Chains A and B, each alone.
Chain A
Amino acid sequence: MANPTIGGSLNNTSYAVGATMTATITYGDTDQKSGTVTFKITDAEGNVSANLVLPYLIDPLTVSYVDSLGKVWTKISDSGSVAVFTATA
């Protein structure tokens, strides 16, 4: 099993109190794979049902944070590989 990877940046390093801080986090895992499994039913006469398509994700990832000043970071968006968080300075 590979370790996940993470990188990130803040839009600034110094903020005036009350300003919006934005963190952009990129993350991934080479083990992570997404796929689908498709089921169908066929009867003795050869009639076939509609497909049942079930997506799955192998090795899903979660992103969390700890802030030393106790600031609350809110996730604004998350594509599955890039997440954007904001907090108030």
Chain B
Amino acid sequence: MAAGTVTFKVTDKSGNTQSVPLPYTTTVPATRYGAFCGYFNKAQNPNETDAQRRARVTAAFGGKLGIERQYPGSGTSAPTTPVGCPTILSWDWNADMAGVVAGNYDSQIIQAAQNLPSDRVIYASPLQHEPWLHINAGDYTLAQYQQAWQRSVPLFRANAPSNVKITLIQDGYTVQGVNSAAWRPIYPGDNMVDVLAWDCYWITGGPRVTADGVYGNCLRETQLKGKEFVVAETSFGAPGPTGGSGWTDSQVTTLTNNAIAYLDGKATFVSWFESNKEDGNWLIEGIHPTAQSAWSTACSR
């Protein structure tokens, strides 16, 4: 809970003033935990259907997910998460920001927004998440992403139901450690984003070995902007393509417990990145059983 006061002041032409203080408090609803249920072609069990993947991961986390992360890519269909299940979505439109700016994806953006259900909270990024990863790789420029955001958000807002929150999903590593301000140039303005979400990974060595090192600057930057705080992805980092991360069950259990203890009452939703794909294996299901149990307990709330 945070306590604040907004003081309004009226001033006349002579400089006489009167003010009125209005105190208030802000509270975060009980933090809800869930997971990404995997979808990549090169993931384990690639022949599973979407429903089978969801059933497997949901069962692995105790039978209930408080939130589910999905990546529609360039698809415009409604999310396949269960009725009422809060959902985090981000579209990438082929990482073609110049095309978005040119209006080449307008009809798809509108269709995707119109197909969203109104029965659940939806955190929607109309553009690719983790933009800095792609900007730094030269996939597109900061200016192109900014322009694409300015074009896509009004289209999205005008066509989405009112339960949809426009969500900028940032790479947590851009603020973790010393340079908490590094992400700020991409901020599109208070009226162009409802929620700030972050993808946050624990890394052995360096600043990302504690909960505050992993989430702290993300939280503080979000609070500075006065926005809702969501963790769209979290897991241990850099596991390598064969899953040879070196993380033990004990270490991952400590990680998950520390994450939950830190994020409770601060984030509204937290999603575990439960996936194995071509560049790494982030699964805890069946690999880190004690950590899996800890996350299941959090999901069951």
A interface residues (Cβ-Cβ under 8 A, vs B)? 1-10, 12-18, 21, 23, 25, 27, 29, 31-32, 59-74, 85, 87-89
- Interface 9-residue window, one of B56-64, B222-230, B250-258: B222-230
Taken together as a complex, chains A and B put the C-alpha atoms of A4 and B14 apart, in Å, by 10
Chain B count of residues within 8 A CB distance of the other chain: 36
Chain A residues within an 8 Å CB radius of B16: 1-4
B4:A69 contact, CB within 8 angstroms: yes
A15:B27 contact, CB within 8 angstroms: yes
Chain B residues within an 8 Å CB radius of A23: 6, 8, 22
B interface residues (Cβ-Cβ under 8 A, vs A)? 2, 4-14, 16-20, 22-29, 165, 190, 194-195, 223-224, 226-229, 268
A31:B12 contact, CB within 8 angstroms: yes
Taken together as a complex, chains A and B put the C-alpha atoms of A16 and B87 apart, in Å, by 19
Number of A-B contacts (CB under 8 A): 128
15 contacts between A and B (CB under 8 A): A3-B12, A3-B18, A16-B26, A17-B229, A18-B195, A18-B268, A59-B14, A62-B11, A63-B10, A64-B9, A65-B8, A66-B7, A67-B5, A67-B7, A89-B226
Taken together as a complex, chains A and B put the C-alpha atoms of A71 and B23 apart, in Å, by 13
Taken together as a complex, chains A and B put the C-alpha atoms of A21 and B7 apart, in Å, by 14
Given A15-B27, A16-B28, A23-B8, decide whether A72 and B190 contact each other with a Cβ distance below 8 A: yes
Taken together as a complex, chains A and B put the C-alpha atoms of A65 and B11 apart, in Å, by 11
Chain A residues within an 8 Å CB radius of B8: 6, 8, 23, 25, 63-65, 85
